[in-house]
C-alpha cells in the first residue's frame, strides 16, 4: 500500500517535546473514535472529521527524512488510531524510517494491538485507563462499556517487551482518591502509571469546560496512593 493511500490522518503537530517522553517527536492525529469521552480535547476529529483535510503522507515522510537526527520520534494519536485497521499499514510504513514510534490508544481494540505488538511495529504504547470499572460508562461516554477489552489490552502490554505507560486524566468531581485506589487495584503493577492534570479546553461535553482542575497537591496525594501498588508513578501537567 502506498504512501498516498491512507486518508484518515487529519491533524499534525510537526514538533512536540511533551508527547513522547525523552524524544523530540512529530505527532499525527487520526479521525474517529469508538468512545465519546466528555473531556475529549479533539472533539471535531470525532464528530466532524470531514471538516479537516487529510494530511498527505508524502509530506510527513519528506519532513521526517529532512530532519533525521533532529526529530527522533513519531506519535500516532487520535481520535482512536486502532479504530481503523489501516493504522497497522501506516505504522509499517513508518518503520522504514528507522524512527521510534509511539502509539496512543484507549485499549478498546486488543486484537489490533496484539498484531502491532507481534509485528514489532511500535516502540512505546500509551494506553488510557480512564476511570475505575464503575466509572467507565461516565468517563467513556458509553452507557454499555465492556471493560473486558481494557483487561485484554493490559495483559498484552504486560506480557510484551515494549515500553508502555498507563494514563488516567484526573477529572474534577469524577476521579477522586477512591477512584484512583480502585484503578490501581484493578490494573495491578504496570511499567509506568501517569496521572494527568485535567485541562478545561475544548472538551466534547461543553459542561466540562467550566470545571476547575484539582489542586496540584491533590494529584500528588493520588500519586502516593498509586505508589502503594505501582512503583513508577508520575503526575503530568502540574502548574509548578
Q: What percent of the chain shows pLDDT beyond 70?
A: 97
CATH class of residue range 9-236: alpha beta
Residue 3 binned pLDDT confidence (cut-offs 50, 70, 90): very low
Separation CA 6–CA 90 (nearest Å): 7
Is the Cβ–Cβ distance between 103 and 126 less than 8 Å? yes
DSSP category for residue 189 = S
Sketch the domain layout of the chain as residue ranges: 9-236
Separation CA 163–CA 79 (nearest Å): 22
Residue 201 burial (10 A CB sphere; 0-12, 13-18, 19+):
exposed
Residue 229 has pLDDT above 90, yes or no: yes
Residue 239 binned pLDDT confidence (cut-offs 50, 70, 90): low
Query: Strand, coil or helix: what is 186?
Result: helix
Q: What are phi and psi of 159, to 5 degrees?
A: -85, -10
**Range with lowest mean pLDDT among 37-41, 50-54, 154-158, 234-238:** 50-54
126-143: average pLDDT: 97
173-180: average pLDDT: 97
Nearest to 200 by CA among 17, 38, 31, 10: 38
Amino acid at each position: 500500500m502506498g504512501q498516498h493511500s491512507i486518508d484518515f490522518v487529519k491533524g499534525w503537530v510537526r514538533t512536540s517535546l511533551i508527547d513522547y517522553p525523552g524524544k523530540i517527536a512529530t505527532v499525527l492525529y487520526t479521525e474517529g473514535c469508538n468512545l465519546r469521552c466528555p473531556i475529549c480535547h479533539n472533539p471535531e476529529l470525532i464528530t466532524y472529521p470531514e471538516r479537516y483535510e487529510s494530511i498527505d503522507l508524502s509530506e510527513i515522510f519528506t519532513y521526517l527524512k529532512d530532519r533525521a537526527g533532529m526529530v527522533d520520534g513519531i506519535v500516532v494519536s487520535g481520535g482512536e488510531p486502532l479504530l481503523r485497521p489501516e493504522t497497522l499499514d501506516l505504522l509499517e510504513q513508518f518503520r522504514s524510517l528507522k524512527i521510534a514510534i509511539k502509539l496512543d490508544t484507549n485499549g478498546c481494540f486488543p486484537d489490533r494491538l496484539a498484531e502491532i505488538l507481534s509485528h514489532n511495529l511500535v516502540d512505546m504504547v500509551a494506553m488510557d485507563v480512564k476511570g475505575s470499572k464503575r466509572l467507565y460508562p461516565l468517563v467513556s461516554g458509553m452507557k454499555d462499556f465492556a471493560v473486558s477489552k481494557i483487561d485484554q489490552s493490559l495483559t498484552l502490554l504486560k506480557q510484551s517487551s515494549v515500553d508502555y505507560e498507563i494514563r488516567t486524566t484526573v477529572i474534577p468531581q469524577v476521579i477522586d482518591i477512591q477512584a484512583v485506589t480502585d484503578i490501581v487495584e484493578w490494573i495491578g503493577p504496570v511499567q509506568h502509571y501517569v496521572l494527568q492534570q485535567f485541562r478545561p479546553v475544548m472538551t466534547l461535553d461543553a459542561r466540562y469546560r467550566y470545571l476547575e482542575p484539582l489542586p496540584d497537591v491533590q494529584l500528588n496525594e493520588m500519586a502516593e496512593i498509586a505508589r502503594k501498588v505501582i512503583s513508577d508513578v508520575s503526575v503530568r501537567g502540574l502548574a509548578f
